[in-house]
Structure 1
Amino acid sequence: MKDIIFYAIPFFILSILVEVLYYRYLQKHQDHYETKDTVSSLSMGIGNVITGIVSKVVVFASIVLVYKYRIVSLGRDVWWYWVGLFFADDLSYYWFHRMSHQVRYFWASHVIHHSSQFYNLGTALRQTWTGNISGAFIFYLWMPLIGFQPVDIFLMQTISLIYQFWIHTEAVNLMPKPIEWIFNTPSHHRVHHGSDLKYLDKNHAGILIIWDRMFGTFQREEERPHYGLTKNLGSYNLFHIAFHEWRDIYDDISRAPNFKAGLGYVFGPPGWSHDGSRKTTEQLRHESIKKVDCDVE
């Protein structure tokens, strides 16, 4: 099966060029793109395509293996199969994405996408090199188990990825209210890329924002976010961008006082530390609430 993402690449590049021209000549803004940052994002995207040639074979083989033990066989010739496939894929993406912010092991791959301090269509292509081989696909394995065919699962994942490209922009403010209520939009996804405390770990949607509304992770965009990480990399080195969190995990495990702490550094939330020297998002929020309460008193 040919990956249709290859056919979308010219559209991605053309859209980036249009956005650059829009900011430069129509809005007269120079702070939406930075050459080194954009080159890094595009290079990470190319690396993702190259590593995906091998890793997607492993992922597809795993899905095919699970499909052999499917509980039921679903027919592709009925409309509800495709509707069910769409919702199943989007729900799977939500939980994969949410866990990628709550479990450091998965964050080590996903952090790459958040490492730019700019928010533009180029940032959309800043993709991981390790996501597939580190097991992100496990969140989708229930789909072949209940009868969705492997080729169709891959197809829907690609459609979701292509959809998410256009929401990485500040050129679009707000969509009509019904769209903002149901779908993931640039406004919702800008929140997700914000490093402000109120925006951290919010809006994990792929195509439908309804999952965030349902599961309590929705945050409306208010002031313009500060993009990037709570501690930015300060480097355009591709290998540092791709592997820095994996190296940091190794360093933390090496210094861990016991086995339990070592597990915490791998499977705990990003920011967890055995001695409290670093803070998770929830700890930061708790401290912020306590500070407000103290100021009120």
Structure 2
Amino acid sequence: MNIDINLLLLLLTPVYFVPITIEWWWLKRHPYYNPSARYRLPDVFANLSLGLFYQLGEKLAGAYVMAIYFSLFEFKLFTIAPTLWSFILLLVLQDFCYYWFHRMSHNVRWMWASHVVHHSSQSLNFSTAFRQSFTYPLSGMWLFWIPLVMLGFPPETVLLVVMVNLFYQFFIHSQVVPPLGWIEWVFNTPRHHRVHHAKNPNYIDKNFGGLLIIWDRLFGTFKAESESEPCRYGIPKQVNSYDPLLLTFHEWRDMLKDALKPGKTLKQRLKHLYSYPSWQPKP
């Protein structure tokens, strides 16, 4: 299967901007709806700029990562025939791997340094889905798909399924989509993802699934949105800037500053890189 990812992303562009336009139009007709759902030009500019940088990072790292995948594919455990059922199986397994990548991205500071970009907006609407970091290849996102390649799924098909998962996730970045009934028992939905983006203490580090919410229900990280506790968006250590470069590098800067501060042991320096993002040595 020969996939031109950049061409495919280009063809999908109208699919992204149709719901953005509809959401923007609906919010204009409901001026008293939650202000954090609104499209504000500086925030949208930051989101789109970060999305372009993210695509650049993926382009630069793509050939290197695919070379690793194809090298490992030579040692695959099984030969998996390309059928509809194997594709569905890959969708489920990739989402399982995504759950652990996403959960680790909130619990390991080295990975949070990339993922924090996505959470840094105090607004949540469809455009927020574009707010990504081009440092994901550096923080190791691609490592989590290696088990799929080693099982015997072709690297290009794995990459396609990763893109399908991320494409789906675009549609869960909204505050105007109502509850979706029984669907919410199995699939990740806007209602679940609002909780994930919230910085309320009761909501932090919840709902890590991409396509499915079943992993959160199985592993104890599920939290339902409560009408009595509206979501507040952003990050605990808020960066009040729309500068794409500052949004991309602020946590890398702070992490390295903590790790290189004089008077610390090697263990403490390493813990600044691989412990929970807010970890600090006891005084």
Q: Is TM > 0.5 for Structure 1 vs Structure 2?
A: yes
Worse-matched range after superposition: 11-20 or 230-239 = 11-20
Residue 73 of structure 1 deviates from its aligned partner by 1.3
Equivalent pair of 1:24/1:30 in contact (CA under 8 Å) = no
Where does residue 124 of structure 1 map in the other structure?
129
Answer yes or no: is 1:167 the counterpart of 2:172.
yes
Answer yes or no: is 1:2 the counterpart of 2:8.
no
Q: Which gives a bigger RCO, structure 1 or 2 (Cα 8 Å, sep 6+)?
A: 2
Equivalent pair of 1:113/1:127 in contact (CA under 8 Å) = yes
Which amino acid in the other structure matches residue 33 of structure 1?
A: Y
- Rounded to whole Å, the distance in 2 between the matches of 1:168 and 1:82 is 25
Equivalent pair of 1:192/1:199 in contact (CA under 8 Å) = yes
- Rounded to whole Å, the distance in 2 between the matches of 1:143 and 1:87 is 11
Equivalent pair of 1:74/1:147 in contact (CA under 8 Å) = yes
Alignment deviations for residues 117-161 of structure 1 (CA, whole Å, 9 cap, x no partner) = 001001111011100233211111011101011111011001001
- Rounded to whole Å, the distance in 2 between the matches of 1:98 and 1:113 is 14
- Rounded to whole Å, the distance in 2 between the matches of 1:101 and 1:40 is 22
Where does residue 191 of structure 1 map in the other structure?
195
Where does residue 103 of structure 1 map in the other structure?
108
Answer yes or no: is 1:268 the counterpart of 2:275.
yes
- Rounded to whole Å, the distance in 1 between the matches of 2:192 and 2:150 is 32
- Rounded to whole Å, the distance in 2 between the matches of 1:79 and 1:186 is 27
Worse-matched range after superposition: 82-91 or 264-273 = 82-91
Alignment deviations for residues 229-277 of structure 1 (CA, whole Å, 9 cap, x no partner) = 012101111110011111111100111511000001000011000136x
- Rounded to whole Å, the distance in 2 between the matches of 1:6 and 1:267 is 36
Q: What are the ranges of 5 or more consecutive residues in structure 1 without an aligned counterpart? A: 277-297
Worse-matched range after superposition: 159-168 or 127-136 = 127-136
Q: What aligned pairs does 1:195-210 form with structure 2 within 5 A after superposition?
A: 195-210=199-214
State the secondary structure of the residue aligned to 1:250. helix
Match of 1:157 among 159, 162, 165: 162
Answer yes or no: is 1:144 the counterpart of 2:149.
yes
- Rounded to whole Å, the distance in 2 between the matches of 1:245 and 1:141 is 27
Residue 14 of structure 1 deviates from its aligned partner by 2.9
- Rounded to whole Å, the distance in 2 between the matches of 1:171 and 1:187 is 9
- Rounded to whole Å, the distance in 2 between the matches of 1:163 and 1:29 is 25
Where does residue 289 of structure 1 map in the other structure?
none
State the secondary structure of the residue aligned to 2:137. coil
Where does residue 27 of structure 2 map in the other structure?
23
- Rounded to whole Å, the distance in 1 between the matches of 2:147 and 2:201 is 33
Answer yes or no: is 1:39 the counterpart of 2:45.
yes
Equivalent pair of 1:67/1:149 in contact (CA under 8 Å) = yes
Equivalent pair of 1:212/1:218 in contact (CA under 8 Å) = yes
- Rounded to whole Å, the distance in 1 between the matches of 2:212 and 2:31 is 30
State the secondary structure of the residue aligned to 1:202. coil
Where does residue 292 of structure 1 map in the other structure?
none
- Rounded to whole Å, the distance in 2 between the matches of 1:255 and 1:248 is 11
Where does residue 284 of structure 1 map in the other structure?
none
Q: What aligned pairs does 1:61-72 form with structure 2 within 5 A after superposition?
A: 61-72=67-78
Normalising by structure 1, report the TM-score.
Answer: 0.89
- Rounded to whole Å, the distance in 2 between the matches of 1:5 and 1:91 is 24
Where does residue 258 of structure 1 map in the other structure?
265
Residue 26 of structure 1 deviates from its aligned partner by 4.1
Where does residue 293 of structure 1 map in the other structure?
none
Where does residue 181 of structure 1 map in the other structure?
185
Residue 15 of structure 1 deviates from its aligned partner by 2.1
Give RMSD over aligned pairs.
1.4
Report the count of equivalent residues.
274
Deviating above 4 A after TM superposition, structure 1's stretches of 4 or more consecutive aligned residues are none
Residue 11 of structure 1 deviates from its aligned partner by 1.9
Normalising by structure 2, report the TM-score.
Answer: 0.93
Where does residue 74 of structure 1 map in the other structure?
80
Answer yes or no: is 1:215 the counterpart of 2:222.
no
